[in-house]
Amino acid sequence: MTANIIIATVLVHLFTALLQLTFWRKTITQRVLSVAGSLTGFAFALGLFERVRTGPILTMNAANWEAPFGIVFVADQLSVTFVLLTAIVALAVSIFSATGVGRARMLYGYFPIFHFLIMGLNGAFLTGDIFNLYVWFEVIIISSFVLLTLGGRKAQLEGAVKYMALNILASTFFLTGIGILYGITGSLNMADLSQKIQWVENQAIINLTAMFFLIGFGIKAALFPLYFWLPSSYHTPPSAVAAVFGGLLTKVGIYGFFRVFTLIFVPDDFIKAVLMGIAVMTILTGAFGAIIKDNIRRIFSYLIVCHLGFVIGGLALFTKIAFIGAVFYLIHDIMVKTNLFLMAGLIRHLRGTMNMSKLGGLYAQYPKLSLLMAVVLFSLAGIPPLSGFWPKVYLFDGGYQGNDYLYIGGIIIGSFITLYLVARIWSEVFWKRAATDDFVVDRFKSLQWHRKTLLVLPICLLACSSLFIGLNAEYIIQIADKIAGEMADPSPYIEAVLGK
């Protein structure tokens, strides 16, 4: 079914960014515009989500060029779920940025670039054309380069060099893969590729091409052994930026995996084994990397890596039940990881540091805020009624059915270490008596009440989303089930795009 509303979320963020560019020195106007733009984007995303959830897959042919000749935008359940999650994260982060980002950064175009980044994310999730996906990836990385380096501190620039080099390399791999794919099949439309790739006689070259995509997406999704850029760059930018990066940027790589490895390359046993090996190693290296860190943002960075392993393992099992677990985990992960980085920003406002050895006594001084953060931390660890618990049930089930005990062991170790870290953060940051009160820089207390609200409200919003996901798990499982169905059988997608 053709519907032009698909593109609305992309356009909203594009025009928000353009409008903000005309208010270059007026940071108050930019802040208001940013929140308004994100709210509008959220409304459109919610509308699109409901329409696709209850109706058929929507498509839009750019400039009326019929698929597979033109660029097509497709809104299936997987895409719209990602678009909705992006909208929620964008809303939370633009509210947080109003106070959490310094005025100096805003004067150098923080908000326009942020909205270009969100535009790129929406575009990447909605496009049905593999080269167009590459272009959206580039929109995302060039915006993220600017956000990462804005401010120009030494640590930021050092992190940015690693981030930049590996991300450009990933794009080159991705582009090489696309080039070879076009050479073999003569098509760039993903639905069309899905059909044409079955007619290729030389399946060895298909596997080779799949490896190019695996490396390209693997670098972007920060999987073992290509994840080193992530922990060495994500702790450097302002917390608002780190929240978008941690919540969404690595997930674009995962989205690429979900899309390409279910629609175009249906993995054979070899690729499944490679993916599973990568998944288990990602879980272990991420978890063990996090244990020794003292800075809470570095811990969260390693935990991102660790938990992405869970998701890729779900993809590697390649059964419907594992897909449900992987998709559900991803929905939970985007909310929680964004919130963790926002929380780190709030803690820095409260105490002026993010190192656990210097922190302490938050629970005594701010009991309500601490309880709010406890909800987030417990969701992360997966304490039963909260959101991290349910997807693991499905992942375990998938692992048992596939007799993949290595993966199950990996999940157990990863979850256990996460729980240990949550306990450690809770005792070091909240319970432990603060070492010396003389050095505490509490920038939060002196803020006006509306600024305090702007810092706490987004954390509340995301914590409520986490609670909703955990307590209303049945609804999320319905969504995840529909997505898993689409991933296991792409024929409705192909039919919607090609119209036959």
Partner 1 sequence: MELLLVASIGFLYAAGVYLILKRSMVRLLLGIVLLGNGTNLLIFLLGTITKGKPPVIEPNLKVLADIYSDPVPQALILTAIVISFGLTSFAIVLLKRVYALIDTDDLDDLNTPEEEDI
Q: Closest approach of Cβ 85 to partner 1, in Å? A: 26
Q: Looking at 61, 195, 319, 355, which residue binds partner 1 (CB under 8 A)?
A: 355
Question: Would you give the distance in Å from CA 335 to the centre of its chain?
Answer: 9
Q: Looking at 41, 128, 238, 309, which residue binds partner 1 (CB under 8 A)?
A: 238
Q: Looking at 2, 18, 153, 273, which residue binds partner 1 (CB under 8 A)?
A: 153
Q: Which of 177, 183, 168 is nearest to 137 (CA)?
A: 168
Q: Closest approach of Cβ 238 to partner 1, in Å? A: 5
Enumerate residues 296-325 that contact partner 1 by CB under 8 A.
297
Alpha carbon of 214 to those of 167, 294, 356, 358: distances in Å? 14, 32, 36, 41
Q: Looking at 102, 225, 367, 499, which residue binds partner 1 (CB under 8 A)?
A: 102
Enumerate residues 280-299 that contact partner 1 by CB under 8 A.
295, 297
Residue found under tokens 């618990």? 389
Show Cβ contacts of residue 360 under 8 Å, excluding neighbours closer than 6 positions: 428, 429, 430, 431, 432, 433, 434, 435
157 binds partner 1 (CB under 8 A): yes
Q: Looking at 15, 26, 43, 138, which residue binds partner 1 (CB under 8 A)?
A: 138
Task: Look up residue 330 and give its amino acid.
Answer: L
182 binds partner 1 (CB under 8 A): yes
* Rounded CA separation 481/489 (Å): 12
Q: Looking at 237, 267, 391, 414, which residue binds partner 1 (CB under 8 A)?
A: 237
Q: Closest approach of Cβ 390 to partner 1, in Å? A: 34
Q: Closest approach of Cβ 93 to partner 1, in Å? A: 15
141 binds partner 1 (CB under 8 A): yes
Q: Which of 266, 263, 180, 209 is nearest to 498 (CA)?
A: 263
Q: Closest approach of Cβ 178 to partner 1, in Å? A: 8
Q: Near partner 1 by CB under 8 A, which window of 14-22, 81-89, 141-149, 478-486?
A: 141-149
122 binds partner 1 (CB under 8 A): no
180 binds partner 1 (CB under 8 A): yes
Q: Looking at 22, 28, 50, 183, which residue binds partner 1 (CB under 8 A)?
A: 183
Q: Which of 384, 486, 445, 434 is nearest to 75 (CA)?
A: 486
* Rounded CA separation 375/371 (Å): 6
CA dihedral sign of residues 258, 234, 437, 459: negative
Nearer to partner 1, 3 or 447 (CB): 447
97 binds partner 1 (CB under 8 A): no
Q: Looking at 40, 77, 86, 149, which residue binds partner 1 (CB under 8 A)?
A: 149
* Rounded CA separation 37/27 (Å): 15
443 binds partner 1 (CB under 8 A): no
> In the structure encoding, which two tokens stand for residue 414, read together?
């990863």
160 binds partner 1 (CB under 8 A): yes
205 binds partner 1 (CB under 8 A): no
Q: Near partner 1 by CB under 8 A, which window of 159-167, 265-273, 324-332, 413-421?
A: 159-167
117 binds partner 1 (CB under 8 A): no
145 binds partner 1 (CB under 8 A): yes
172 binds partner 1 (CB under 8 A): yes
Nearer to partner 1, 26 or 162 (CB): 162
Q: Closest approach of Cβ 430 to partner 1, in Å? A: 20
Q: Closest approach of Cβ 192 to partner 1, in Å? A: 13
- The number of residues that bind partner 1 (CB under 8 A) is 46
437 binds partner 1 (CB under 8 A): no
Q: Looking at 28, 155, 200, 406, which residue binds partner 1 (CB under 8 A)?
A: 155
Q: Near partner 1 by CB under 8 A, which window of 9-17, 148-156, 397-405, 488-496?
A: 148-156
435 binds partner 1 (CB under 8 A): no
Q: Closest approach of Cβ 97 to partner 1, in Å? A: 13
154 binds partner 1 (CB under 8 A): yes
Q: Looking at 188, 197, 342, 417, which residue binds partner 1 (CB under 8 A)?
A: 188
* Rounded CA separation 84/468 (Å): 15
CA torsion 372-307-225-120 (nearest 10°) is: -70
Per CB under 8 A, residues contacting partner 1 are 102, 131, 135, 138, 141-142, 145-146, 149, 151-155, 157-158, 160-162, 164-165, 168-169, 171-172, 175-176, 178-180, 182-183, 186, 188, 232, 235-239, 295, 297, 348, 353-355
